[in-house]
Amino acid sequence: MKRYLLPLALFLGISSAFAQEAPYIELTNDHLRIFVTQTEQEMGRFAVDTTQGDPARDDDNNKPLIYGRPVPWTSYTTIKVDDKNYVFGGPTTRRAGSQGLWGKMIAAPHRDGAEIVTVFEYEGLLVEQRIGPTVNPYSGWNDTARIRYRIQNPTNAEKTVGLRVVLDTMLGANDGAPFRIAGQNILSQTEFAGKDLPDIWQAFDSLASPSVIAQGVLKKYGASTPDRVILTDWGTAADHLWHIPLEAGKDFTRAGEDEADTAIVLYWNVEKLPSKASRDITILYGLGGVSLAPGASFLGIAAPSEIIYDPVEERHYQILTYIENNTPRLAHNVRVELQLPAGLSLLDKAGSVVIPQMEPKETRQMLWTIKANGKAFGKTEIGLKVTGDDLKANQLKRNVEIIGPPTLQAEFKPFSVSGWKGEPLRLEGRVFNTGGSTARDIWVNLELTPGIRLADGETSRKYVEDLPAGKEAQVHWWIIPETPGKVGVAMTGSHRGGTKKLATTTLNLPVMEGALKLTSLPSVSPGEAFCLEILGERLPPLAKFSMDLHYDPSHFKVLRIARGRFGINDKEARWIPGTDDPVVGVVRGITAERKEPLREGKYSLVRIFLVALRPGESRIAIENLQFQPTLSGRLPVYSPSITIKIKEEKE
C-alpha cells in the first residue's frame, strides 16, 4: 500500500479538524509554501511545497519538495540526549519515528515574524525549531527553507546531545528522484562524511524535463555542516531513530514495500553541552538554482549568485555543471569547457574535460571549484560550452556577481529612564551591513555586567534576518536594573562563523523607587487574633534581611512569627523567627536568608500573628532593618510602622 494514501478514518478526522481549526500552520511567498503540523499527533513536523517555484519555469509550480500533503508527518527530527532517542514534537503512532521517546510541549507552532516556531523540552533541555523562507545563495530568490534548531541547557548539569534530521524528499510526483552530489549520480544507499561533503546536493530525474530541482546546502551560506549525510530510502530512515544500517548497492526502494522513495538523513554528532550553554544547527533546503539550456546537449549550471572576494579569508566556491545527451545516438568525445571571467580563477582542474562517450539520454555532472581573485568586480558571466562528435555544439551563460565581503557593525540607541517603578525596560540597538555582500545567518548577543539583568523570559541572543549590503535591522532586549548608576553593556555578533564585539555603551540605570509596608486589619476586637504582614514592593533583588519588631505588650500578645514568601521555595533558605521579650514588647533578630536573591515585584517578608488584649490605639513598628546586599536605591520608609485600633468591648 502506498504510504501517501491515507486511511479513510484518518482522512475524515482531518476534514473534521479543518472544520474547527486548521491542523497545520503555514508561511507562503512567491516561491515556497512551508507548513508545520499543529495537531497533538506529529506536532512540529514540517513539509515544503513550491508555489510559483523558479520564475524562469512554469512546470515546477505548486509541487512538493518535501512530502507532507495534507498534514506533514514523514520528515522528523531525533534529539539524542544522554543516549536516549527523543523525537521532536508531538507523538505519533505512524511509521516515522514511532519508536522514539517524547518530550513536553513548551510552545505549540506559532508565527514569529517570517518563521514558524515550535518549542519542546527533553530532560530539562529546551529545543526550539524555527522554519521560514530565506535567500537561496545560488538563485538569489527567497526559494529556500531555513530550518533552525537551538538546543539550550538551562539545567545545572552537563548533558550530551546530538541531532539527526530526516528529510523525506519528493520532487513533484517523483518520490524516488536520484541524488546528485559532488559530481556523482547516486542511485543507491550512500554515506558522505567529513572532507567528502560538498557545498550542496541536488535531486532531480531528467535534466531535459525535470518536474522540480531540489537543493540542500551542506556548507557555507549560514548552513551548519553536518558530520555525515546518508542517502537512503524513506522506510529505512523512518524505522531507525538514529543508526541507519548501510547495505552496499541497496537501491532506494522503500523498505518493506516495492516503490522508490528517497530520503536524506543529516547527522550532527553527540557532543557535550555544558550547563547554561546552547547549540545551534541550521539546515537550508529548497529549489535548485540551476540555469538550463535546451538542445541536443541539454546543459545546466548551478553556481552561487554572489561570489565574494575576501583578502583576509580566501573563499572557495563549488560549481556543478550538467550535460545530458538529448539525442537517440551515442555521442563521442564530448568536450565540456568551463569559461570564467577575469575576476574568477579555477582551482582544482583544467578548464575543460573530455567524456569519451555518452549514451542516449545519459546525464553527466562535473564539480568545479573556483575563487574570486580580486582582478575584477561587478556583474559578469560564467560560461559552459559543449562540443562533440555527432553532437551539435551548445553553450550556456550563468549570471554571477563578484563582490566584497559583508561587514557587520552595530550601535546602541540612547537609553534614559525617569520615574522607574520596577517594570522591564527596553534597550534598543541597530545592526547594519557596511560591506559589499549580503550577511547571512546573523545573530547578536547582549553581554551584561553586574547591576543589570535580563527580564524574565528574555534571551540574550537575537537572530537577525539576512542583511543585504547597506541595510540595517533593529534589535531590542527587555532588561531589569538591579543597582542604580552607570554600568557597561556590549553587543557581540556573528555572521561568518566567528564572533566579534560590535558595540559597547554605558547605561545610566535609574534609582529604584521601592517601598516597605505593614498591612493588617484596620481594627480588631479584644481577644481577636489577627495577622500583620510586612510587604516589599519594587525591591531590588534581596538575599537577606533582619529586623526587630516593637509593640506595646499591654495591647498585644505575639502568638507566632512566620516566614513570608521571601523564605519560601528556596530549599536552602535560613529562617530565624527572632526572640520575643513580652515584658519590653520586642521581638529581636527576625532574620531570613536565601541562597538565590528573590526577584519579584511584590512579596511578603514576614507574617506576624498577634492577639489584641484591650481597647485603644497602639503602634507596631519595625526597627533595625537591614538588607543584604545593601540597598543603594530609595526606600520611602526604612522603619515602617502601623497604628491599629482595638475596638471597645461590646456590653
| CA–CA distance, 595 with 327 (Å, rounded to integer) | 80
**Residue 633: which pLDDT band, with cuts at 50, 70 and 90?**
very low
Please tell me the least confidently modeled range out of 58-67, 235-244, 419-428: 419-428
Give the DSSP letter string of 377-389.
-EEEEEEEEEEEE
60 domain-assigned:
no
16 domain-assigned:
no
Q: Kindly report whether the peptide bond that precedes residue 72 is cis, defined as omega within 30 degrees of 0.
A: no
Please tell me the least confidently modeled range out of 16-20, 210-214, 341-345, 398-402: 16-20
Q: Same domain, yes or no, for 283 and 295?
A: no
| CA–CA distance, 29 with 115 (Å, rounded to integer) | 12
Please give the single-letter amino acid code of residue 333: N
- What is the average pLDDT across 313-330? 90
User: In this model, does residue 57 exceed pLDDT 90?
Assistant: no
420 domain-assigned:
yes
Catalogue the E-assigned strands of 471-585.
Answer: 472-481, 485-494, 500-509, 515-519, 523-524, 529-537, 542-550, 556-563, 574-576, 579-581
User: In this model, does residue 4 exceed pLDDT 90?
Assistant: no
Q: Same domain, yes or no, for 398 and 412?
A: no
Please give the single-letter amino acid code of residue 368: W
Write out pLDDT tens, residues 577-619: 999 999 999 999 999 998 888 877 788 999 999 999 999 999 9
Residue 232's pLDDT is 95
331 domain-assigned:
yes
Q: Same domain, yes or no, for 327 and 210?
A: no
Q: Same domain, yes or no, for 467 and 371?
A: no
Burial (CB count within 10 angstroms: exposed 0-12, middle 13-18, buried 19+), residue 503: middle
Q: What is the CATH number of the domain that holds 339?
A: 2.60.40.10
**Cα torsion for 183, 369, 196, 218, to the nearest 10°?**
-90
Give the DSSP letter string of 422-486.
S--EEEEEEEEE-SSS-B-SEEEEEEE-TTEEEPTT--SEEEE--B-TT-EEEEEEEEEESS-EE
Q: What is the CATH number of the domain that holds 537?
A: 2.60.40.680
Q: Same domain, yes or no, for 254 and 107?
A: yes
Q: Same domain, yes or no, for 377 and 251?
A: no
Q: Same domain, yes or no, for 236 and 143?
A: yes
pTM score above 0.85: no
**Residues 6+ away with beta carbon under 8 Å from 399:** 305, 379, 380, 381
**Residue 576: which pLDDT band, with cuts at 50, 70 and 90?**
very high
Burial (CB count within 10 angstroms: exposed 0-12, middle 13-18, buried 19+), residue 203: buried
Q: Same domain, yes or no, for 357 and 390?
A: yes
196 domain-assigned:
yes
- What is the average pLDDT across 562-566? 90
Write out pLDDT tens, residues 324-370: 998 899 999 999 999 999 999 999 778 899 999 999 988 898 999 99
**Residues 6+ away with beta carbon under 8 Å from 646:** 523, 524, 525, 526, 555, 612, 613, 614, 615, 616, 617, 618
Q: Same domain, yes or no, for 332 and 363?
A: yes
| CA–CA distance, 211 with 321 (Å, rounded to integer) | 19
Residue 651's pLDDT is 41
Number of domains in the chain: 4
89 lies in which domain range? 74-287
| CA–CA distance, 37 with 96 (Å, rounded to integer) | 14
Residue 410's pLDDT is 95
Residue 513's pLDDT is 65
Domain termination site, one of 459, 477, 509: 509
Backbone angles phi, psi at 15, to 5 degrees: -60, -40
Q: Same domain, yes or no, for 493 and 625?
A: no
Q: Same domain, yes or no, for 246 and 210?
A: yes
